[in-house]
Structure 1
Amino acid sequence: MSTYLGIDIAKKTFDAALLREDDRYRSKSFPNTPAGFEQLRVWLAKHQGLDAHVCLEATGIYGDALAHFLLDAGMRVSVVNPARIKAFAASELLRTKTDRMDARLIARFCRAMNPLPWQPLPPAVRALKALFLRVQSLKQMCQQECNRLAVAEAVVRPGIEAHIQTLETQIKELEQQIGEHIQAHADLRDKRKLLRAIPGIGPATLALVLACFASVIERFDNVRALVAYLGLNPCQHQSGESVHRPAHISRMGPALLRKCLFMPTLSACKHNPVIRAFFQRLRAAGKPGNVAVIAAMRKLVHIIYGVLKSGTAFDPDLHMTA
């Protein structure tokens, strides 16, 4: 493939840079709307770019629609971690940052690194993820309102209380919708059955796992890759004799997933015999509480991976010896 299309996504617009064989660019900005997507297709056809390898950063909801549009148009699409683009920019010692320059940078990254094709989530999982993320947003808003209520003047308390009640009602309705959605799809239903058997995994964690990584678990060659994807892999920083920083997790994965796994891990430390024994062993060895909890979180991910990858129910004896 000799042409590369870098796309820099923003909320309302996106910049496209077509890198051609002669190392020259064609650049243009488009509205981030279905009409803008069609304008991009016409522009690419005009400049013989419909066979280009497309690359854009994983920017959440802002780029999803465009990525699906280009994929449906038969183009090869790669959606990459923004950290990779940032590191590539540092390697070029770039000093200027604009949307136009970023699009060109992404095109050069695509040519140099040839990232893997993007594999979108199945429609049922995409819908489940949207429902799950909406619940998390509403819970965050509800907590903010509860915090305000604690210090609010009497004149505004009724409005805050009404808003909290509305949010709680919406959360309950969405959680019920999540359960019905999982029940309506056989693959999600079967995986839920496997996950339910793991002590410490409740309804909220079930939705998290099914929405965010259960359906793509086959893409990970081993559990270490999944742990790295979640940003739970330990990292060391050592150089010579003078630099030796304490080890820490990478935190390069989705922060929301780590946050949502924290409370289930605490529950598993009490109710899951495998996690409980593992956690107590670390504490007895003198590990700080937060270090032991993070290690227990990785252990829980190992168990989830093993159960879903093998398709067999949770066996405490098997994981005790793992």
Structure 2
Amino acid sequence: MEATSIYHENLAYFLYSNNIKVCVANPARVRKFAAGISVLTKTDEVDAEVLVKYGELAPYNIWQPDSDQLRLLKQLILRRDAYTSELNREKNRLDQAYSNNTNSKLIEIIQLDIENINNRIQYLDKLIDETINDDISLKQDLCLLESIPAIGKRTALTLLTLFKGKSFTNAGQAAAFCGLVPLQRQSGSSIRGVSKISRSGSSKIRSKLYMAAVVAIRHNPHIKIVYDRLLRNGKAKMAALCAAMRKLIHIAFGVLKHQKPYNENLIGFAKIPC
């Protein structure tokens, strides 16, 4: 089946509970596969036939369900992110209201909305902390991720659900999943396009990694070295920043794989500080 945001999950869990093997395919890859076999029509019947062919010919992994705690954590984080976006919109409305000399009663309504959203976010933070504390593995892995300079709690939670929810065998797979792998355009001697990241993964993960990378190029020695070297070699700042994001993924994968906190000296790993 194709991944459809969260709408495929109930069917996937139902099939798994009935001992039926499930593959959840990336819809974009299925669409490209269809184009590759000259199927341009898109209907439910045609899509079903394409998925059958995709299952026969394309490599895929058997889907494994998240633990109950991890599934709950993902849902809580998703809801918090939604409230955060809503909060930003309301703050923008408040700024506009002040600048447009809006009626004070309307301003008061917006202020109450902001207060209510903040209260919901605080309650969700409490539920997230409780969920983490109820699972030793989640708690320790979150601690390891937060040991990386420039990785705050929000980014650490995003990375935690990413690595816990996917069976990556190496950091390169994780970077590719996030859409941070550079794609080259070259043909013969005449076509040499500028390399760009694939952007095939979650834009939400990339946005949080972007903010972390902006901090990391100033405060994380490993990231700063990579960033400065690329700038010296003539790379654009955005390309260097994408490389910094990719390096953060590699570091995060490493601390979780070895179950040791970040060590800037690269001489072993320090004792877990929590």
| Superposed pair shares fold, TM > 0.5 | yes
2:50 alignment partner AA: L
* 2:112 is aligned with 1:162: yes
The Cα of 1:110 is off from its aligned counterpart by 1.7
Where 2:38 maps in the other structure, the secondary structure is coil
Q: Work out whether residues 197 and 314 of structure 1, in 8 Å CA contact, stay in contact via their aligned partners in 2.
A: yes
Could you tell me how far apart the structure 1 residues matched to 2:13 and 2:124 are?
Answer: 25
Match of 1:301 in 2: 249
User: Which residue, out of 147, 157, 161, partners 1:207?
Assistant: 157
User: Which residue, out of 257, 275, 282, partners 2:230?
Assistant: 282
The Cα of 1:133 is off from its aligned counterpart by 1.1
Could you tell me how far apart the structure 2 residues matched to 1:287 and 1:114 are?
Answer: 34
Q: Work out whether residues 145 and 156 of structure 2, in 8 Å CA contact, stay in contact via their aligned partners in 1.
A: yes
- Runs of 4+ aligned residues of structure 1 deviating over 6 Å after TM superposition are none
User: Which residue, out of 86, 96, 103, partners 1:141?
Assistant: 86
Match of 1:17 in 2: none
Q: Which runs of no fewer than 5 residues in structure 2 stay unpaired? A: 268-274
The Cα of 1:279 is off from its aligned counterpart by 2.1
Q: Work out whether residues 149 and 160 of structure 1, in 8 Å CA contact, stay in contact via their aligned partners in 2.
A: yes
Match of 2:272 in 1: none
> How do residues 148-187 of structure 1 correspond to structure 2 at under 5 angstroms?
148-152=93-97, 153-154=102-103, 156-187=106-137
User: Which residue, out of 59, 72, 92, partners 1:127?
Assistant: 72
> Which structure would you say has the larger RCO, counting Cα contacts within 8 Å and 6 or more residues apart?
2
Please list the CA deviations of residues 130-184 of structure 1 after superposition, one character each: whole Å capped at 9, or x if unmatched: 1111111111111122222222332532222211211111112212221221111
Q: Which moved more, 1:279-288 or 1:257-266?
A: 279-288
Q: Which has the larger radius of gyration?
A: 1
From the superposition, tell whether residues 263 and 125 of structure 1 become closer, same or farther in structure 2 (CA, over 3 Å): same
> How do residues 241-320 of structure 1 correspond to structure 2 at under 5 angstroms?
241-318=189-266
Q: Which runs of no fewer than 5 residues in structure 1 stay unpaired? A: 1-55
The Cα of 1:211 is off from its aligned counterpart by 1.7
Could you tell me how far apart the structure 2 residues matched to 1:284 and 1:259 are?
Answer: 25
Q: Work out whether residues 78 and 116 of structure 1, in 8 Å CA contact, stay in contact via their aligned partners in 2.
A: yes
Match of 2:271 in 1: none
The Cα of 1:248 is off from its aligned counterpart by 0.5
The Cα of 1:247 is off from its aligned counterpart by 0.3
The Cα of 1:216 is off from its aligned counterpart by 4.2
Match of 2:39 in 1: 94
Match of 2:270 in 1: none
1:122 alignment partner AA: S
Where 1:286 maps in the other structure, the secondary structure is coil
Match of 1:192 in 2: 142
Match of 1:237 in 2: 185
Where 1:61 maps in the other structure, the secondary structure is coil
The Cα of 1:114 is off from its aligned counterpart by 6.0
The Cα of 1:285 is off from its aligned counterpart by 3.3
Could you tell me how far apart the structure 2 residues matched to 1:172 and 1:269 are?
Answer: 30
> How do residues 21-40 of structure 1 correspond to structure 2 at under 5 angstroms?
none
TM-score scaled by structure 1? 0.76
Could you tell me how far apart the structure 1 residues matched to 2:229 and 2:38 are?
Answer: 47
Please list the CA deviations of residues 96-154 of structure 1 after superposition, one character each: whole Å capped at 9, or x if unmatched: 22223222321232233363211122221111111111111111111122222222332
The Cα of 1:210 is off from its aligned counterpart by 1.3
Q: Work out whether residues 265 and 293 of structure 1, in 8 Å CA contact, stay in contact via their aligned partners in 2.
A: yes
Q: Which moved more, 1:172-181 or 1:184-193?
A: 172-181
The Cα of 1:294 is off from its aligned counterpart by 1.0
Aligned length: 263
- C-alpha root-mean-square deviation of aligned residues, in Å? 1.9
Q: Work out whether residues 178 and 207 of structure 1, in 8 Å CA contact, stay in contact via their aligned partners in 2.
A: no
From the superposition, tell whether residues 96 and 277 of structure 1 become closer, same or farther in structure 2 (CA, over 3 Å): closer
Could you tell me how far apart the structure 1 residues matched to 2:194 and 2:234 are?
Answer: 16
